[in-house]
């Protein structure tokens, strides 16, 4: 259903155009769940925005994004508007800013229906109330008239999910949907998303920086660093056999509940810091920070090495991690 090939995104920076996404490929079938994990600046949010055609001013995307056979890159904004909120929907990190504070929530949830399905106001509102009920807003009919500030953070995120689902999209993109929420609420929201995805046969692209969230919620995953996908595959596969040094570093750097370190011990860290976009090495983006760096890592871009069962890694020395 969704095929992304060789996606490159260039961004204007203070030092000229820099490549923020460097050749990303992935596919997503109907009903499939894919997770994108990475830290700040890896390009995961940009990739998601490119799907919706919502890249920032001055950004340039090349490659191919095919949605149901239709090429999305290069389409006019009007054509993309017909898809947004309709066939492809997005849920963002900050529920407070995603909702307009001066409109009642019923109105906002009904908006995609009025826009894309040309429903009348009353009919759209009825459908909106049903959606609000489904996402777990108690007393939906009455609360549809309330304003965003009258709801808690978790409830607001439920409302944005309802808005995203209004037109029954084929693909739901969720960019860090629970990062701003408390852990107990996070669990409920992720469970809600899973239920809805299964119920409606949607595809889900879930973006997160949290390995735990990825582990528990998606069937396949992509690990991004410096604009490239450094490791990908079925989640269970990747977690049981991490083959990229960055993936391992990420996994090891997180303090684990129930596994405290001794007094002299320290958390294993990844040496150095993420370089600015313009300073990324020409070869493997992780060159220099990686403990196994060789000379050629700085200049040669690694191709994807296929391990088994759809598990791929981009490293010039995959045998070092075996």
Is 213 a residue that touches other proteins (CB under 8 A)? yes
Toward other proteins, which CB reaches closer, 28 or 42?
42
Extract the tokens encoding 262.
């001794």
| Look-up of token digits 């499939």 | 32
Helices 105-116 + 153-165 axis angle, to 10:
10
* Shortest Å distance, C-beta 220 to other proteins: 11
Instruction: Quickly count: other Cβ atoms within 10 Å of residue 82's Cβ.
Output: 12
Between strands 304-306 and 228-234, the pairing is unpaired
Is 291 a residue that touches other proteins (CB under 8 A)? no
Toward other proteins, which CB reaches closer, 146 or 210?
210
- Segment 137 to 196, residues that bind other proteins, using CB under 8 A: 153, 182-184, 186-187, 190
**Which of 76, 118, 122, 240 lies at the binding interface for other proteins (CB under 8 A)?**
240
- DSSP E strand boundaries for the chain: 2-13, 16-28, 33-37, 60-67, 70-71, 88-91, 171-175, 203-208, 220-225, 228-234, 304-306, 312-314
What CA–CA distances, in Å, run from 108 to 102, 105, 172, 189, 306?
Answer: 10, 5, 18, 20, 45
Is 251 a residue that touches other proteins (CB under 8 A)? yes
Is 239 a residue that touches other proteins (CB under 8 A)? yes
Is 270 a residue that touches other proteins (CB under 8 A)? yes
* Shortest Å distance, C-beta 251 to other proteins: 7
Candidate segments 17-25, 72-80, 137-145, 245-253, binder of other proteins by CB under 8 A = 245-253
Is 209 a residue that touches other proteins (CB under 8 A)? yes
Is 262 a residue that touches other proteins (CB under 8 A)? no
* Shortest Å distance, C-beta 254 to other proteins: 6
Is 211 a residue that touches other proteins (CB under 8 A)? yes
Is 133 a residue that touches other proteins (CB under 8 A)? no
Is 28 a residue that touches other proteins (CB under 8 A)? no
- In angstroms, the CA 246 to CA 81 distance is 37
Find all residues with CB under 8 Å of 300, minimum gap 6, and list them.
283, 284, 316
Give the binding-site size for other proteins (rule: CB under 8 A): 40
Instruction: Quickly count: other Cβ atoms within 10 Å of residue 176's Cβ.
Output: 19
- In angstroms, the CA 136 to CA 113 distance is 20
Q: Which residues bind other proteins (CB under 8 A)?
A: 39-40, 153, 182-184, 186-187, 190, 209-213, 215-217, 235-236, 239-240, 249-251, 253-258, 260-261, 263, 266-270, 273-274
């Amino acid at each position: 259903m969704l095929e992304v090939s060789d996606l490159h995104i260039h961004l204007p920076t203070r030092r000229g155009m820099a490549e923020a996404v460097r050749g990303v490929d992935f596919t997503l079938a109907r009903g499939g769940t894919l997770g994108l994990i990475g830290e700040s600046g890896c390009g995961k949010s940009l990739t998601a925005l490119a799907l919706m055609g919502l890249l920032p001013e001055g950004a340039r995307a090349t490659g191919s994004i095919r949605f149901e056979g239709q090429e999305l890159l290069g389409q006019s904004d009007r054509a993309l508007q017909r898809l947004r909120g309709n066939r492809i929907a997005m849920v963002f990190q900050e529920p407070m800013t995603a909702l307009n504070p001066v409109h009642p929530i019923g109105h906002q949830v009904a908006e995609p229906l009025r826009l894309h399905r040309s429903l009348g106001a009353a009919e759209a509102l009825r459908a909106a109330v049903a959606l609000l009920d489904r996402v777990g807003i108690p007393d939906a009919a009455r609360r549809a008239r309330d304003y965003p500030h009258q709801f808690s953070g978790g409830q607001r995120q439920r409302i944005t999910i309802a808005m995203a689902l209004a037109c029954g999209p084929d693909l739901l993109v969720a960019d860090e949907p629970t990062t701003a929420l408390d852990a107990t609420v996070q669990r409920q929201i992720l469970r809600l998303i899973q239920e809805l995805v299964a119920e409606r046969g949607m595809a889900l692209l879930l973006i997160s920086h949290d390995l735990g969230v990825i582990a528990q919620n998606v069937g396949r995953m992509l690990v991004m660093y410096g604009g490239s996908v450094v490791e990908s595959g079925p989640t269970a596969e990747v977690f049981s056999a991490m083959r990229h040094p960055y993936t391992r570093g990420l996994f090891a750097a997180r303090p684990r509940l129930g596994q405290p370190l001794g007094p002299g011990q320290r958390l294993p860290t990844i040496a150095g810091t993420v370089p600015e976009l313009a300073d990324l090495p020409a070869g493997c983006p992780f060159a220099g920070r990686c403990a196994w760096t060789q000379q050629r890592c700085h200049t040669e871009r690694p191709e994807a090495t296929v391990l088994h069962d759809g598990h791929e890694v981009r490293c010039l020395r995959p045998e070092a991690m075996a």
